[in-house]
Amino acid sequence: MDIANLTKQWAERMGPRSHVVVSSRVRQARNIERVLFPPHANKEDLRRVCELVNRLVHADATLHNFQRIDINTCTSLERAFLKESHIISPELEQAGEYRVLYLDQQRSCAIMVNEEDHLRMYCLQSGLQLTPVLKEINAIDALLSRSLKYAFSEKYGYLTSCPSNVGTGMRASVMLHLPGLAMTQQVEEIVKELPQRGLTVRGYYGENSEFLGDFYQFSNEVTLGKTEEQIIESLHKVVEQIIAKEEAAREALFEKKRPYVEDVIWRAYGLLVHARIMASSEAFKLLSPIRLGIERGYFPSFTHHDLNRLIVQVQPAHLQITEGETAGVEDRDIARARLLRAAFTGMDSHN
Amino acid sequence: MDIANLTKQWAERMGPRSHVVVSSRVRQARNIERVLFPPHANKEDLRRVCELVNRLVHADATLHNFQRIDINTCTSLERAFLKESHIISPELEQAGEYRVLYLDQQRSCAIMVNEEDHLRMYCLQSGLQLTPVLKEINAIDALLSRSLKYAFSEKYGYLTSCPSNVGTGMRASVMLHLPGLAMTQQVEEIVKELPQRGLTVRGYYGENSEFLGDFYQFSNEVTLGKTEEQIIESLHKVVEQIIAKEEAAREALFEKKRPYVEDVIWRAYGLLVHARIMASSEAFKLLSPIRLGIERGYFPSFTHHDLNRLIVQVQPAHLQITEGETAGVEDRDIARARLLRAAFTGMDSHN
């Protein structure tokens, strides 16, 4: 499989509210009745789930076009590449037998088989589009549920491996870019208020990942006792409030502390155009003010797509696939600096 | 007095060994017989010294052209400006009545009256030129000694306020730029060996000043029991050894760690071209790798003169004189970034 050409992504499109919202994602967790859930399943159980899903996908006119990737036949580098692209979860990256990914041609919807649950399916779109994304993933869920009998309880709803997903089995999340709130030290305050609204925050690569480049992933913590629509509505409302706060923070910064913000933006640009060695964590940190700069018209020839693409391209596995598997950390840091220099040099900028 | 036009300096010329040696300086400390030395002198003593020197300078065909600056009539900003330009010592910057400076038209020789000693005269030239500089200052000393009777002991030599200057009364110093030795952590080792050779090391602004931008000022500690020529010869020898080590360090860096050194050089350039706010300590730090880059041909349109000039121009008092006395720290940091951007933008560079 040529993993490296899996580049056409949600990131190429430009969704609503993209000045703050990078992407919206909804995923559903489902399990098949009378088959042990993955944490307790034996090989035969896992194989059976694969077979059931595979038969169904082949028979369905829509799902038929999904690309099948057997995770266990991927190298660890390819799996890392898929994780960096947000195509598979860190859980699926661990691999193991009978782990399969079905990916649609747009790279925006996917079904992961035998992750923590038998089925984890998601849809991802650019910008703030929770309701459309929910509809899309529910359409796929409906196709699957025609032939598969899900583990479901009248009292609790969908049953899942981890109690935290029981109920709707849904996790809706929104990736926000909050440089304004980060620069004005307001993120902590926002995060504090999340639990009482049934929400939580994670880093760029989900659970336990670092907060890099002022990117924050907000999602529902609660899956029980509410409908999918209620959860989405509540998340949407909070996101709109955060957007308003971020906009106000940016306005205040550019009005009252323009030299300071411009210093941050242009220093990042200066380093991206000139550095010869760059670690991925630094690249992430520097690309954040550039995204803010794009938004404010400092880089007219640069789009959010370009930036979304770069953020993924500078990740270690992506660079290793470009540079060759033998490339060590130092080679990658040099290649990363070269890639960024090429992307930013000669870029039209209102310097 | 228009202090700000005191810009034509030694720094405009290019002396030998300038890839490592910024400048060479020799100063002589002298006191007038039967007049209390400045630390114990009363106003009348100081006034008398001023008068004696002034009469002599006026009457002499050479010294006649020296510009007289009454330090006490200068504002503290003007005094800071003169210190930043290395025209007066930190001691003279403190001012007090009857402190006078005589400065030659090249701004390379000067006589300071009523500094720590009655007379402190120095000559400063670009590059490694200790012997010519010694000759120049000795010529001035000879002119003065024709009419002034110096405090002198057959046993000890010239008598000075501080015992550390007794004997020759001479301090010869060489400002070296050692980025190669600094990057390879060899400076400490060199410094350790200095005392046994009667030498010492100071920062960019002399005694107790910080080591900024990899600039190190090496000078003789011992003034007693050796002739001026012996001291100069010994300093010259050590400087040549340090130059050889610095050259070797640079060669090794560019041969074995080229991406690392180029990263340091180009990051500095990127920040100098793009930053919007910059403190003087950071500017100093960033200009150091640029000097190395000039030396290695990275910036063909930039000379050591340009860099010497910039190092002085970015100092606080220089910026305050350009920006107006009311400019606060923040205004200066913005003005400094603007000045550096203008100097480096559009500069021819082998990027």
What pLDDT is stored for residue B255 in this prediction?
97
Amino acid A348: pLDDT: 58
Query: pLDDT per residue over A17-69, tens digit each?
Result: 999 999 999 999 999 999 999 999 999 999 999 999 999 999 999 999 999 99
Query: ipTM surpassing 0.90, yes or no?
Result: no
- What share of chain A in percent tops pLDDT 70? 93
DSSP assignment of A191-237: HHTSGGGTEEEEBTTBTT----TTEEEEEE---SSS-HHHHHHHHHH
A263/B277 Cβ within 8 A: yes
Task: Look at B274 and A277 and tell me if their CB atoms are within 8 Å.
Answer: no
Question: Residues of B with CB below 8 A from A275's CB?
Answer: 263, 266-267, 270
CATH number assigned to the domain covering A3-249: 3.30.590.10
User: In this complex, do A259 and B276 lie within 8 Å of one another by their Cβ atoms?
Assistant: yes
- Minimum distance, in Å, between the CA of residue B70 and any CA atom of chain A: 39
Mean pLDDT of A289-300: 94
A342: closest chain B residue by CA:
B351
pLDDT in tens, chain B (351 residues): 566 556 545 555 678 899 999 999 999 999 999 999 999 999 999 999 999 999 999 999 999 999 999 999 999 999 999 998 889 998 899 878 999 999 998 889 999 999 999 999 999 999 999 999 999 999 999 999 999 999 999 999 999 999 999 999 999 999 999 999 999 999 999 999 999 999 999 987 766 667 788 999 999 998 888 999 999 999 999 999 999 999 999 999 999 999 999 999 999 999 999 999 999 999 999 999 999 999 999 999 888 888 888 988 999 999 988 888 777 889 999 999 999 999 998 665 655
Rounded to an integer, what distance in angstroms lies between the CA atom of residue B301 and that of residue B319?
A: 24
**How buried is residue B100: exposed, middle or buried, by Cβ count under 10 Å (0-12/13-18/19+)?**
buried
Pick the residue of B183, B257, B266 with the most A CBs within 10 A to test the interface with A by mutation.
B266
For chain B, what are the domain ranges?
Answer: 3-249, 257-344
Which residues from chain A sit within 8 angstroms of residue B262, using beta carbons? Answer: 276
Whether the CB-CB separation of B278 and B340 falls below 8 Å is answered with yes
Q: Measured between alpha carbons, how far is B85 from B107 in angstroms, rounded to an integer?
A: 10
Tens-digit pLDDT profile for residues A105-160: 888 999 999 999 999 999 999 999 999 999 999 999 999 999 999 999 999 999 99
pTM, entire model? 0.90
Which residues of B lie inside 8 Å of A (Cβ-Cβ)? 259-260, 262-263, 266-267, 269-277, 330, 334, 337, 345, 351
CB pairs under 8 A between A and B: 57
Between A260, A270, A334, which is nearest B270 by CB? Answer: A270
Given a cut of 80, is residue A241 above it in pLDDT?
Answer: yes
Interface residues on A facing B, Cβ-Cβ cutoff 8 A: 259-260, 262-263, 266-267, 269-277, 330, 334, 337, 345, 351
Report CB contact under 8 Å: B262, A276: yes
- State how far residue B84 is from chain A, nearest Cα, in angstroms: 26
Longest dimension (CA), chain A: 64
| Chain A positions in Cβ-Cβ contact with residue B351 (cut-off 8 Å) | 274, 345
- Contact between residue B219 and residue B235 where contact means Cβ atoms under 8 Å apart: yes
Asked if B270's CB is within 8 angstroms of A274's CB, the reply is: yes
A266 to B277: CB separation less than 8 angstroms, yes or no: no
Whole-angstrom CA distances from B50 to B66, B118, B138 are: 15, 9, 21
Contact A71, A92 (CB under 8 A): yes
